[in-house]
Every structure is written in C-alpha cells, then in structure tokens.
Structure 1
Amino acid sequence: MEISVPTQSFQWTLPIMRAGYAGRGIVYVVVAGLSLWAIFRGGEAEGTGSAFSTLTGAPFGWVLLALIVLGMAAYAIWRVLDAAMDLEDYGTDAKGLIARAGMVVTGLIHGAIGVLAVSLIIGASRSGGGIEQAVAAVLQMPGGRWIIAFAAICTLGASLYYLQKALRRTYRDKLRASHFTRNWDWAMRAGVASQGVVVGVIGGFLAMAALRADSAQAGGMGQAFDWLGQQPFGQALVILLCLGLLGFAFFCLVNAGYRIIPRIAEPGTESLGELLKRKARAAT
C-alpha cells in the first residue's frame, strides 16, 4: 500500500532549494561575467578557481564569495535531500535510482565548489590544479585509469543530457507556467545548451586523461575556454559560450523562483510545458 505524505511535510526544503539554485546562478554569473570582462580588456576567459581568486581582490568580492559558499552548501544539501526523499518523484526503478544517484554526485561537486570558495575566504593557499590534481591522485590508485574512464563516460553522458534537454526543451516540465518563463524560454534554452557544451569538453578532457594515463590532459571550465580559444574563430566561440553560460545562470535563477517540485507543488500547478502544449492544441 502506498502511503501519501502531505505536501506540507516537505515545505521546509523549499528555501534550501531556492538558495541552492540562486547560489549556482551566482557562480555562473561570476565565471562568465569575469571572463567576458577579461576578454574585452585583452585577456583570457577564466575558470572557476581563477574567477574566485579575482573576487578576493575586488570590492565586495568577499561578500560574493560568502554568498557562493552558502549557495553551494544549500545546493549540495538540496540535492542529497531531493535524492533521499525522492521529492521529484523519479521512483525506485533502475532509471529513477540512476537519476537520484546523479543528484547526489551533482550535490557533491557543488559542495566542492563551495569548499574552494571557503579556502579563498580563509586565505588557504591553493597548491594544485583542481581537476588535474584530483585526476593525478586517482591515476595512482589500482585501476585508476578505469575510474577516470568511468568518470569521463558519466560526464559525457551529462553533456548529452543537457543537450537533449535543450533540444527537446524538457526543462519546461519542471518550471511553473507564467508570462515570465514563457517569454524568456529562449534564453534558458541557450543556457542549457551552453552548459552541455562545456560539460562535454570537460568530459573529453577526462577521456584523454584516461586513454593516456596523463593527468595533464584533464581540466575544468578554464581549460575548456582555452581549448575553444585555440579553434578557428576561437575568441568568438569563447564569447558566445560565455554569453550562453550567462543564460545558464539565468536558468538557475529562474529555477530558484519557478521550479516545480512534484511532491511539494500544490495540486493543479501548471508547468510551462503543459501551458505551451495546451495552447498548441487550442490553435489547431
């Protein structure tokens, strides 16, 4: 017998979700915004760590870093709660369990971003190269190359997930219908697609690190910008990607305010996807 749990039982998780998505949005605003500023001043796009380091010397930079720490902590907690309580109703079949496991991994990754911001706030020295240093440590373990290869497959899978999400616009089913979400759908779609591109490049780096057993092949967002910059019309590609990541920041902020959580939402809440399908049927 299935036990129905009142939506009010989970209402306390909503502020955590909102803070988490807002913090995630701030991270992408900082990285993409500072990268565009650096490019326009003749410099190069920055990765997450470099962008955070830049904030330490900026007016009110510590405030932004503190907000990022709080936001990343909230997002990590939210993802773990979401997976444990199945707040988005993925279920307990194989597909649902994989989706919920992915939430936990995503939460841990964003928790690590928060730790990076904390280290800068307290003035801890950073001796390593982030992903590269972590990959080097894993490669020294028994079966390390296989672990990195598995991580590469998962990362490339996440990239395909974002790209198909943008192509099919399935994110609409998670957003509450409103005049605002309908009018800004194009920006959110571009943002989700851009995130897919960045994650795909990072997954490619991990795959090369596994194939060559060389941690120097791995890299994060900064290395993704560098690689794109070396391609034909590289600077234009990097600028377009940064603009797209601002779109992803916008997507995160919209989620903070309009995301539908199935086990919390009031009965009859209409999603953006449902609204557009209804209007399409009415027009035919």
Structure 2
Amino acid sequence: MNPSAPLDRAAELARESRFLTLCRVGFLGRGILYILIAWLALQTGRTEDLTGALEYLGHGSGRILLIVIAAGLAAYGLWRLADAAFGIENPGPDGKALRKRSAAGFIGLIYLYLSYKAVRIILAGHAGTMNAQEQADTVLDLPGGAVVLGIAAAVLAVAGLNQFRKAGKCTFLYNLDYRAQAPLAKWLGRIGYAARGVIFLTIAYLIGKAALDGTSNEAGGMEQALDFFSGPVLWAVALGLALFGAFSIIEALFRRIHEPPPPEEIKQKVERKLT
C-alpha cells in the first residue's frame, strides 16, 4: 500500500467535511434570509425578496454574515447540482428519481445565482441585476415572449402546488435525523411550506397575468407577491415564511446530507459518458 494513502484519504475526508459543513451553512443562510424577509414585513411593512434581503445584510456588520452566507449558498448550490448529475440524494433511473434530480439541478442553479448576487453586493454594494418587471419586459420583447412567460407561470404554479403537497404529506421530514422529527419540526415545516406555496402561486398568477396582458407592469417575484396581500393575510403569510426559515435552521443542524462522489469517481463517470 502506498505509505501516503492514509494521509491522502484523511485530507480528502477533511475536504468533504468542510464542503458538507458549508452545505449546512447554506441551509442556515436560507433560514436567516426568510426570517429577515418576514421580520421586515411584520415590523416595518417593508417587502423584500431574497435579493433584497441579501442587500439589506450588505451594510455594516451584516457584511461579515453575508460573506458566510454567500459561501454557504454556493456550496448548497453545488451540492444540489451534484445530486442532479450523480443522484447522491435521489439515486436510480426511474422517472420519479429523474424528476427529483431535475428539480435539484434547477434549485442548484438558483442558489448559485443567489451566491453570485451576494458576492456582487459584497464587492459593489448592490446586486446589479434586473428586477422582476424588467426581466418580464425583456422576455416580452422576444418573439413568443408571452408564451415563455406563460410557461414560467405554469412551472411556478406546479412548484407552488408541490409545496402544498410537501406540507400535507410531511415529506420534508424524510431526510431529517430522527432526533429532529418532533412535532415542532413537523409543524414548522408544514406551515412554512404552505406559506411558500402561497407565495409561489401568487407569483405564478402575477406572471401569468403579465403574459395574458402582454405587459410587465404586474409581473413580480416574492416582493410583489407580498405586496399583493395586506393586513392579517400579509401577517399570516410573513409569519409562515418566518417559520419556514426556522425549519431551514433545523435542517442545517439535523438534515442527513449525503457526500458527493470523490473527484476520481466523478472523473470516471464523466469519461464513461463521453466515450
């Protein structure tokens, strides 16, 4: 046996441990962002999306936290992409596993993009990206843009219904350590996912209406979805988002996270697919 093999394996395990720790930081960062969005809506009446929450943190001492969150979101995004490519969380060639892997890849890209926005905020003081209306306007200017927006609205509607499905069946508990599968975690997740379902369906409605009207004025993301509500309904949805944030923190502590394949195994799989 190569005398350096144990040391090499120890170094590899240390790298994997750091990566998985950063994934947990990603869950923690997601929780903090959702709690911040809810706090701003409940305490100040200010509505923000995830980008707005990142920008809110990008001032003063919050910048240090933002740096940690950016690293965590990047690791979380890469982990999701690893699941999409290699099935580390959803193995198997069946249709259900492939659908989950496709969703994992999409989620991974979203969180990598959020990490990129966080880095932009750290370096430049702002995310420097188009808001929801500007994005919708750009799409509408393209040939068939209204159709594209309609498809986006349909995808978001399906995603919203899936959030309600998770809330009803409590599938979010499957990947938690048994120590966290308590009534508190169950109800935090159920209410939190239901609140996310409301937000997703509202965004789908706003984008769908923009597609039908051919104008971007009413298109929006989470910020505009929260603006859609007022009074007790807004408070209920914001509280639900805060509870989702709290559940994300539980995930950061107790979620079972499968390690991505070693670099050599990844290389071999890529080579097999290319040959």
Residue aligning to 1:181: 181
Distance 1:11 1:117, change over 3 A: closer
Residue aligning to 1:93: 94
Retained in 1: the 8 A contact 2:160–2:201?
yes
What residue identity is the alignment partner of 1:110? Y
In 2, the alpha carbon distance for the partners of 1:246 and 1:51 equals 13
- List per-residue Cα deviations over 1:23-54 (Å, max 9, x = no partner): 21122122222222213xxxx33333433333
Residue aligning to 2:57: 55
Residue aligning to 2:150: 149
Query: Residues 59-208 of structure 1: matches in 2 within 5 Å?
Result: 59-123=60-124, 129-178=130-179, 180-184=180-184, 185-208=186-209
Structure 1 residue runs of 4 or more that deviate by more than 6 Å after TM superposition: none
1:28 aligns with 2:29: no
Report the alpha carbon displacement of residue 156 of structure 1 after superposing the two structures with TM: 0.8
Considering only aligned residues, what root-mean-square deviation do their CA atoms show, in Å? 2.5
Q: Which runs of 5 or more structure 2 residues have no equivalent in the other structure?
A: 1-11, 261-275
Q: Which runs of 5 or more structure 1 residues have no equivalent in the other structure?
A: 1-7, 230-234, 265-284
Same amino acid, percent of matched pairs: 32
Residue aligning to 1:17: 23
Count of paired positions: 246
In 1, the alpha carbon distance for the partners of 2:64 and 2:259 equals 34
Secondary structure (helix, strand or coil) at the match of 1:228 reads: coil
Residue aligning to 2:251: 255
Secondary structure (helix, strand or coil) at the match of 1:96 reads: helix
In 1, the alpha carbon distance for the partners of 2:182 and 2:115 equals 32
In 1, the alpha carbon distance for the partners of 2:91 and 2:216 equals 35
What residue identity is the alignment partner of 1:51? A
What residue identity is the alignment partner of 1:35? A
What residue identity is the alignment partner of 2:154? I
Query: TM-score scaled by structure 1?
Result: 0.77
Secondary structure (helix, strand or coil) at the match of 2:178 reads: coil
In 2, the alpha carbon distance for the partners of 1:249 and 1:127 equals 25
Retained in 1: the 8 A contact 2:26–2:75?
yes
Retained in 1: the 8 A contact 2:133–2:220?
yes
In 1, the alpha carbon distance for the partners of 2:71 and 2:250 equals 18
Retained in 2: the 8 A contact 1:138–1:144?
yes
Residue aligning to 1:281: none
Distance 1:252 1:88, change over 3 A: same
